[in-house]
Amino acid sequence: MRLEGWHLIIIIVLALVLFAAPKLPGMARSLGQSMRIFKSEVREMKKDGKGEEAEGTAGPVEGRVVNHPQAKPAEPTDGTDVPPSSRA
């Protein structure tokens, strides 16, 4: 007899009911709390996104890169891309 996918699912469910029955309500409660938190965060993100569109700042921003006037010129490298160690 060959075990298929649904056979394994039934075995896992039975094992959970038999051995983890006292912990199932707590796990379901924590799952529900996690889902509530996730939904509220998604709702907040959607609300924040709508606020930015109303202000007109949702579009791309143009800019240019400038060198800092007091920046030191880049030191010559020895061909490696690893930064120098700061450990003494």
Burial code (b: 16+ CB inside 10 Å, e: under 16) for 61-82 equals eeeeeeeeeeeeeeeeeeeeee
| Residue 9 is assigned to a structural domain of this protein | no
| Residue 39 is assigned to a structural domain of this protein | yes
- For the chain, what is the domain count? 1
| Residue 3 is assigned to a structural domain of this protein | no
What range defines the domain where residue 43 resides?
Answer: 23-55
| Residue 37 is assigned to a structural domain of this protein | yes
Largest CA distance in the chain: 77
Q: Measure the CA angle with vertex 49, ends 47 and 52; round to 5°.
A: 115
Give residue 58's pLDDT: 58
Per-residue pLDDT reduced to its tens digit, 26-70: 989 999 999 999 999 999 999 887 755 555 555 677 777 777 667
| Residue 65 is assigned to a structural domain of this protein | no
| Residue 17 is assigned to a structural domain of this protein | no
CA–CA gap between residue 44 and residue 66 (Å, rounded): 36
| Residue 69 is assigned to a structural domain of this protein | no
What type of residue sits at position 67?
N
| Residue 76 is assigned to a structural domain of this protein | no
